[in-house]
Structure 1
Amino acid sequence: MSSSRLRRSPRPAALLLGALLIPLPLLAQSPAPAPAPPQAPAQPAEDHRVQLANRTGQEARALYAVRSGRQAGGQPAWGRNLLPGPMPTAKVFTFRTEAGAGCRFDLRLVVADGREAVLRNRDICAAPRIAIEADALRAAASRPAPGEPNPRARVSSGTGFVVATDRVLTNQHVVGGCDRIFIRTADGRTLPAVPPARVDAGLDLALLTVPGDPGEVLPFRASPEVRRGEGVIAYGFPLPGLLSSDPKLTRGEVNGLNGLGNNPGHYQISAEVQPGNSGGPLFDLRGHVVGVVVSKLHAQNIAKRTGDIPQNVNFAVKGTATQDFLGRAGIQPRTEASTGPELGGADVGDIANRGTVFIRCER
């Protein structure tokens, strides 16, 4: 559960709890985004009409316009092509900005031979008529091909697992705000997720569509009900870049049948989890999913309030609540009764590895 979600709750108790929980995605080190240029005085109630003349001597194939400073890994996130079709040379194209978008824009015109002209920090309020000449064209900057990760993007990460054919479950806070999402399968393949994700912000769950066989469908526990004191195993990708990139397994117990603030949708668990574990499966000792790792107590904030540092106080969305979410999303999860002898940790890890994936979020 993310602290931002708790702060949206109208209940005073939830407001208090927001500072005590931390979600577990990991923000990787990446190039710092360029600072936003100075903004002209905002005109929040107006849009602006802009006329752009193509004087490049070539047919234009694409035109992009975004607010200056809208950066992703040092590169503007250009959004959609504004041109409805090819734009002949010596023609003028007129477009309007969104109301409240301000005056400073970056513009990019792509012509037939693949070259492009990029104009940055243009004040379209002061100069709404813009001409792009041939001498402004340059070779196009190198960009990742569709379906391939961008090595220059700002990246955060988390964990997910396969719940149906080509469907991956994770936490909403792992993928919220991502421009692109990729998963790395157990056999080392990288697959792009296809938007949109189906989300439940209240449960902090997100269901991704990932064509290309992301892994084996993992079974949920159908019965019996989970009891306090049962052994559990968390599986995921904590602290990648600091620890090794392979998945990690930790053991613990179900300490409580409700979460922070008596949250009935969570278990409290003692299995150690770290940033990057978010969205990973929580197993019983027979290899069945009983929950989804979601958060841990913020140790520093708790220590300030109580004078003591909490040890291994972590939380998972209950498997029953997760199955209800999947049902609402049109997914019938695989379920099995959890009977028979308990397995060793290594055996549960083998089951987990077949369907647990690393999630890369690019912003």
Structure 2
Amino acid sequence: MRAPLLASILLLSAPALAQAPAPSAPPNAPPSATAAEEGFRILNRTGQEASALHAVRSGRPDWGNNLLPRPLPADAGYRLRPNPQAGCRFDVKLVLADGREAVRRDQDICAGREIALDAGTVVAAGAAARPSPERPTAPGALPRPGARAATGTGFLVAGERVLTNRHVVDGCDRVLVRAPDGRNHAAVPPARTDATLDLALLAVPGLSGPVLSFRQDPPLRRGEGVVAYGFPLTGLLSSDAKLTRGEVNGLAGLRDNQDQIQISAPVQPGNSGGPLLDMQGHVVGVVVSKLNAQAVAGRTGDIAQNINFAVKGERAAAFLRAAGVTPAAARSTGPERSTADVGEIAERATVFIRCEK
């Protein structure tokens, strides 16, 4: 961020007031479009009828809804076609007629299109509960009690690689990353940074999962709908991610900064480094700052309203390529997705960042 702009820009990292530890769970593998199109079959080899079937992305903290329209007989199968963004690894559970459960975890549906649950997978009712959200990942990735900390947002751009803002991690003694599955990971310094763009690429060993695709074309236009996703005002608001909807207001930032776009999607401290997505769920920017309304009012006598900025997606993608990461790319064509659907795409790859100083 250029020094003359600082008086009028509010960078969106936030002081950490509280953070709940998160569950331990297996990581995801990158998604496979082919696997999603063909789906996979669950085979009931338990010897008795199943009354319910649950299949969720590995590491999800709950089992979700029953997917069976009717009971599944013994030695029968049921085909599922997951969302392409869900990745390759799934946890699967059958609830049997006698109340027991048959469970297989961390199944790679891209490598094998059938998951058989047999007598060897059967456990007592309730024994297959998800890990407690209160259990942390590993001692080395626990927040330090009493540490001075700030928070922000980032998102997966490759295996073990997270993109965020430079100001989110600048001056940190330690950076913790809470993955979409709830596990905590410690980033390994040094981060690859660009001071002009205010971007940083973190190396986070053990972190994997679906990545977000950058919009390749068509060119972004004023008036297009966008969704900002991140973790604003941690410790004041709830600990889950927040979604806001807005539009592209301008194709340049403050004082004609060609590295940024202006957006109306409301953002707050803690949103820094989060993805800005179009209505296809593709990255068009990295949330970076908002106009400091108080500073502007002191200069102009008027209160600026809802003026926010994001680093352009193409600038962020070029930064990644220069850092040795080839970002996923996609064309934004066809019908728009709902805001909720875009939020679900963002959720699978967006991470919470805690900077301890």
The reply to whether TM is greater than 0.5 is yes
Match of 1:316 among 310, 313, 337: 310
3-state secondary structure, aligned to 2:175 = strand
State the Cα RMSD in Å. Answer: 1.3
Amino acid at match of 1:189: R
Residue 235 of structure 2 is aligned to residue 241 of structure 1: yes
Deviation of 1:308 (Å): 1.3
**Is 1:271–2:271 an aligned residue pair?**
no
Give the drift of 1:149. Answer: 2.3
For the residues of structure 2 that align with 1:18 and 1:192, how far apart are their CA atoms?
30
Q: Is the 8 A contact 2:16 2:354 kept in 1?
A: no
- The one of 206, 227, 236 equivalent to 2:200 is 206
Q: Distance in 1 between matches of 2:234 and 2:144?
A: 17
Alignment partner for residue 222 of structure 2, among 203, 218, 228? 228
CA deviations 1:109-134 (Å, max 9, x no partner) are xxxxxxxxxxxxxxxxxxxxxxxxxx
Detail structure 1 runs of 4+ shifted over 4 Å in the superposition: none
Counterpart for residue 327 of structure 2: 333
Contact 2:177–2:187 under 8 Å retained in 1: yes
Aligned match of 1:19: 7
Residue 18 of structure 1, CA deviation = 2.1
Other-structure match for 1:114: none
Question: What pairs up with 1:1-363 in 2 under 5 angstroms?
Answer: 5-7=1-3, 15=4, 17-29=5-17, 145-363=139-357
TM score, norm. by length of structure 2: 0.65
Amino acid of the structure 1 residue aligned with 2:14: L
- Name the CA distance, whole Å, in 2 between partners of 1:147 and 1:292: 26
| Structure 1 contact 215–356 (Cα < 8 Å) conserved | no
Contact 2:225 2:245 in 1 (8 A): yes
- Contact map agreement 2:13 2:151 (CA 8 A) in 1: yes
Equivalent-residue separation in structure 1 for 2:200 and 2:230 (angstroms): 16
Alpha-carbon shift at residue 28 of structure 1 (Å): 2.3
Distance 2:183 2:259 in 1: 33
CA contact (8 A) 1:161 1:356 kept: yes
In the TM superposition, residue 311 of structure 1 has moved relative to its aligned partner by: 1.1
Q: Are 2:253 and 2:261, in contact at CA under 8 Å, matched by a contact in 1?
A: yes
Q: Is the 8 A contact 2:17 2:234 kept in 1?
A: no
Find the residue that maps to 2:150 and give its secondary structure. Answer: strand
Q: Note the C-alpha offset of 1:214.
A: 4.2
CA distance in 1, matches of 2:207, 2:323: 19
Is 1:299–1:309's contact at 8 Å kept on the other side of the alignment? yes
Runs of 5+ consecutive residues of structure 2 not aligned to the other structure: 19-137
Q: CA deviation at 1:29?
A: 4.1
Task: Give secondary structure in 2 for the equivalent of 1:341.
Answer: coil
**What is the CA–CA distance in structure 2 between the aligned matches of 1:329 and 1:167, rounded to whole Å?**
11
Q: For each residue in 1:36-65, what CA deviation from the matched residue of structure 2 results, as whole angstroms up to 9, or x when unmatched? A: xxxxxxxxxxxxxxxxxxxxxxxxxxxxxx
Q: CA deviation at 1:147?
A: 3.5
Q: Aligned partners of 2:310 and 2:276: how far apart in 1?
A: 8
**Pairwise CA distance, 1:173:** 0.1
Question: 1 CA distance for matches of 2:237 and 2:219?
Answer: 35
- Describe the superposition over 1:254-306 as per-residue Cα deviations: whole angstroms up to 9, x where unpaired: 00000000000000000000000000000000100000000000010111111
Instruction: Measure, in 2, the Cα distance between the counterparts of 1:302 and 1:215.
Output: 41
Deviations 1:229-271 (A, max 9, x none): 1010000000010000000000000000000000000000000
Post-superposition CA distance 1:319-340 (Å, at most 9, x none): 0000110010000000001111
Letter of the 2:170 partner, please give it: G
Give the partner amino acid of 1:330. G
Which stretches in structure 1 are left out of the alignment for 5+ residues?
8-14, 31-143
**Equivalent residue number for residue 60 of structure 1:** none
Tell me if structure 2 keeps the 8 A contact 1:191–1:214: no
| Structure (1 or 2) with the larger CA radius of gyration | 1
Counterparts of 1:188 and 1:322, CA distance in 2: 26
Q: Hey, what's the Cα distance between the residues in 2 that align with 1:268 and 1:292?
A: 11
CA distance in 2, matches of 1:361, 1:214: 20
